[in-house]
Structure 1
Amino acid sequence: MSFTVRGGRLFRDGQPFLAQGVDYHPSEAGCRIWTEWDPEAIAQDFAGMAGAGLNTVRFFVFWRDFEPEPGRIDKEMLGRLRHVVDTAAAADLACVVSLFTIWMNGQLIDPAWREGRSLWRDGDMLALEEEFATAVAREVGGCDNLLAFDLGDEIGCVDPGEAAASTLAEVAGWQARLAAVLRLEAPDVLVMQANDASGVLGPSPFGADNSAALDLIGVHGFPVWAPGSIESTLSFKATNLTSFLVRYACAYGVPFVDELGSYGVDDATAAAYLRASAASAIGNGASGILVWCWQDIASEAEPYTDRPMERFAGLHRLDGSAKPAMRDYRRVVGAAPELAVRRPRPSVAVYLPQWVRAAGRSYLDNGVATVATFFSYLLLKRAHLDFDIVADDLAGYDLVVCPSVAHVTLPDLRKLRAVCDRGATVYFSLGDHLHGFPGEPLVGAEIVDHSPPSDGKSAFRWDSDEWAVDWAATRTRTTTLRPTTAEVIGRYPDGSPCLLQNRVGDGRFLFTNVPFEAQLDRPERLTAAAWECFYRRIAGVAGIAPVADCPDPDVEILPADGADDRRFVVVNHAATPSDTEISWSGGTVRVELAAKDWTIVHVPPDREDR
């Protein structure tokens, strides 16, 4: 049997496969799984996973246990690894094996002999990594339940300074080098890299957009550590975070959520977070969901001595009893084939400029702009407008959204010009007036100058609609525009233009110098007003309406592409119940959802209404 990826999906022996499982440390041994060896406990845990309907387990190879001295790989440890993979196979569990595990739960579990040398740029270390990867792949690469090798859990955290100093090319080269070694020994096993949210929302070179050598793009869904103003674990933003990371990764490959969970919350909150975020992530295209983690940890050894609260994020308590989150996870697992919708091709694309995730390299640069992309995602969800997130080909989209752009390149501008030339609409909001401005030919206006924020630009109006602007939430300077060829369709209170429509080719370019998405990055601001109405109006200019709609903006609607059965996955991202109606061209259906709950609505093709 073998695992493959194609068309953005994961397959096992040619059949679609959705990985549903957990991350795993034995409760008693914790991170000493290999040195405090207890195969009976592992077998019992794996049987419990299978009994709960799970099909995948991820575990961690602590490098120092397997290679106590440089060049001396412990054969007994390799045998234990093989035993764990075989034990998983006996329970019908696929395995994700995380190599080069050094960083874990906020601490380094480091081979003493590494002596701080770079994992990515030191030649001797690279040679040792190749030897170790070869040994592991030879030991377990032929196991038909081995889904993927993870090159190392959040490995950039091993040495953040060294990671920040590494170029994209160096990190990509490291991934390609190790992936080639693994594939040589285990050609049927996929390769991935597990990264925290900085791989999308931060400047880390270990990112979704720098994963060309990998088969799967790993993302981690922990709202408490995500940048931006996520107010709480039960906020609208929090349970949309993982699905956003999934959709962002879709622009570059096949997304795989290899860690999903919540910290610092009670059992009820953890369950609510898991049920909404897991259902949404699967509906938005995740090829796998692995929850952190199987059971609370009894071990008090490192890293739990320094961070004891890391021990209590399991789906089961120390006594083995299931927490409420396990019940909700089992419900998601049972419905996963229906949650994994194949969406119809949308008319809207959110465009990722070349430098959207680039770190500031000098005083000229404004830094990472993907938090604005996250807010654009949230606005489109609240407006019930289906969309793709796209980094390259914009052909076929009728509306291209460019949110709070901080840096635009000539290749970006050529792509946007081509969108307009073929008759489509581009919406572009300004995130930096120097390097984010797309130029007078597209905008149909010039920037006169910048100035400090004032009451004269504290809001903007489009016909009868008005929205306040929080300039302090952004890094954007206030600017004044002088129209040349553009039509002014929105103004500030001081009368100056703030929203322009310019005819370009057979299409139009809508431009605002308001960083509309970035200025929403304040606690509670997104849900305090109907900001999504601005996006609805933009879509209306492009002649686009939701495929399915409802009056509750906290409710996510995911339409499925099926000729025989119209299906909607509906997720309530609010912390309160929702009683609403889902409407589409063929009818309306009432949907009642508890807080952070989800359902699947089936509507036969001949259905009119009820």
Structure 2
Amino acid sequence: MASVRDEAPRFGVNYVPSRHWWYSWLEWDPVSILDDLRAVSSLGMDHIRVQLLWPVFQPDPAVVNRTALGRLAALMDLADHPDVRLDVSVSVLDGWLSGLTFLPAWLKGRSMITDEDVVRAELLLFDAVAEHVGGHPRFLGFDLGNELSVPNGDVTPDAGDTWAERLLGHCETIAPGGFHVNGVDHLPWFEARTFSPAGAATQGRASVLHCYPYWTGAIERYGPDGTGVLHLGEYMAELAEAYAERPGRPKWLQEFGASPVERPAESIPAWAETFVRNTLSSQGVRGCTWWGSHDIDRRYTAFVEYEYDLGLLTVDNEVKPTGARLAHLIEDLRANPVRAVERDVALVLPDGRDKGLEAADRFFSLIDDGIRPALVLPEHVHDASRLAARGIRELITY
């Protein structure tokens, strides 16, 4: 993530409260939250991403819950504690989180993207959040919402991009200079679902990447230690670079992680380090944010099995092996940053809107052959100035 404070790569976690998950907005426990944030900070992290459950914060289109807003402000204060010092990205319209749907009842089936009355209610919520925490020293910026293509799959990319541009512009108006982004998952990049890849690569302060070997299908396609799993983040970062208007646009690896459901638990720490190093080899990657900080307490029974064991910390704030490995890696990378690979050979992506793993196969095979390629859109192959600006001297076609 390109920080509003510096350009060095940053490291953080998607905060998952250890005691009450994000039901914490209702079961508020500042003591356990402070303990959690201390544990996160001890790993060397410098930021967290937090999730506002939309129905809790806005139970009616005309009403924003002041108690919830006060608890968000209190969380920001805890993040500013001398033992913590974590910046906070606030994801607002969270109707989809950890595999569960949290859309407000008052939507009544209306679109959160194309219904003007709903959009006005959303702007009201952003205004209220900005009023409470937009000036806080730990406020990093707004994330429009978590993986909004999932509950809005019937929205066209044109409509989605128009909506995102409007809301991101509003965020800049109410919280000038903030690191405002749209927290898309892999679907806009791979399928142009709800949002276009061009929109994801040009709107907001960074191109957001959610890179899960499991949910993208990469681990099934390539195997746990296949090139397509170890270099998935690098591929998606290069895909974002191909769609960007300027070389080196900031990219935020906003979510990545692995569960014992998909691979042996003892293999996750080594995968995590390799994945981070490979992703940082792409120009402009400004931050890596693991999902999530803590495991989910097993007293909650409604989550799919994949979600429970994703933490770097247990629910008792014990550091897990992946947490220890990433803490060591972060210390090393701050002393010895990964240098972006010079990519003078570029693979021309195939025509058509699908840029998913079918298009990625050739990218990964080139890596196996010792080439770390860039990606180029077909419409840019004759744009000499664009290619030169990216340092590309040779094109390979499918």
| TM-score (ref. length: structure 1) | 0.59
Map 1:438-587 → 2, pairs under 5 A? none
Map 1:245-394 → 2, pairs under 5 A? 245-251=236-242, 252=244, 253-263=249-259, 264=261, 265-285=263-283, 286-298=285-297, 300-301=299-300, 304-337=301-334, 338-344=336-342, 346-352=343-349, 355-356=351-352, 358=353, 368-391=354-377
Cα distance change of structure 1 residues 299 and 130 upon mapping to structure 2, 3 Å threshold: farther
In structure 1, which of residues 137, 140, 148 is the aligned counterpart of residue 141 of structure 2?
148
Q: CA deviation at 1:283?
A: 2.7
- As a proportion of its length, which structure holds more helix? 2
In structure 2, which of residues 30, 35, 41 is the aligned counterpart of residue 44 of structure 1?
35
Q: CA deviation at 1:34?
A: 0.4
Q: CA deviation at 1:236?
A: 2.5
Q: Which amino acid aligns with 2:167?
A: L
Q: CA deviation at 1:36?
A: 0.6
Gaps of 5+ in 2: 388-392
Other-structure match for 2:390: none
Find out whether 1:185 has 2:174 as its counterpart: yes
Mapped to 2, the partners of 1:236 and 1:425 lie a distance apart of 23
Q: CA deviation at 1:153?
A: 0.7
Mapped to 2, the partners of 1:425 and 1:38 lie a distance apart of 57
Other-structure match for 2:185: 196
Other-structure match for 1:577: none
Structure 1 stretches of at least 4 aligned residues deviating more than 6 Å after TM superposition: none
1:140-164: CA deviations, max 9, x gaps? 111232223111111111232x23x
Mapped to 1, the partners of 2:228 and 2:346 lie a distance apart of 20
Q: CA deviation at 1:413?
A: 6.9
Mapped to 2, the partners of 1:242 and 1:387 lie a distance apart of 14
1:558-582: CA deviations, max 9, x gaps? xxxxxxxxxxxxxxxxxxxxxxxxx
Mapped to 1, the partners of 2:147 and 2:182 lie a distance apart of 8
Q: What's the secondary structure of 2:150's corresponding residue? A: helix
Cα distance change of structure 1 residues 329 and 306 upon mapping to structure 2, 3 Å threshold: closer
Gaps of 5+ in 1: 1-8, 359-367, 392-407, 430-610
1:505-552: CA deviations, max 9, x gaps? xxxxxxxxxxxxxxxxxxxxxxxxxxxxxxxxxxxxxxxxxxxxxxxx
Q: Which amino acid aligns with 1:224?
A: Y
Q: What's the secondary structure of 2:111's corresponding residue? A: coil
Q: CA deviation at 1:336?
A: 2.1
Find out whether 1:97 has 2:95 as its counterpart: no
Q: What's the secondary structure of 1:157's corresponding residue? A: coil
- As a proportion of its length, which structure holds more strand? 1
1:313-339: CA deviations, max 9, x gaps? 111223332221111111221122323
Other-structure match for 1:226: 216
Cα distance change of structure 1 residues 19 and 207 upon mapping to structure 2, 3 Å threshold: farther
- Larger mean CA deviation between 265-274 and 174-183 belongs to 265-274
Preserved contact between residue 224 and residue 233 of structure 1 (Cα < 8 Å): no
Preserved contact between residue 56 and residue 96 of structure 1 (Cα < 8 Å): yes
Other-structure match for 1:29: 20
Q: CA deviation at 1:412?
A: 5.3
Cα distance change of structure 1 residues 385 and 414 upon mapping to structure 2, 3 Å threshold: closer
Cα distance change of structure 1 residues 179 and 426 upon mapping to structure 2, 3 Å threshold: closer
Q: CA deviation at 1:226?
A: 1.3
Mapped to 1, the partners of 2:315 and 2:297 lie a distance apart of 7
- Counting matched residue pairs gives 382
Other-structure match for 1:503: none
1:194-248: CA deviations, max 9, x gaps? 2222232233133542232211111112111214652433323211111211222
In structure 1, which of residues 66, 69, 75 is the aligned counterpart of residue 60 of structure 2?
69
Mapped to 2, the partners of 1:61 and 1:318 lie a distance apart of 20
Preserved contact between residue 221 and residue 259 of structure 1 (Cα < 8 Å): yes
Preserved contact between residue 55 and residue 92 of structure 1 (Cα < 8 Å): yes
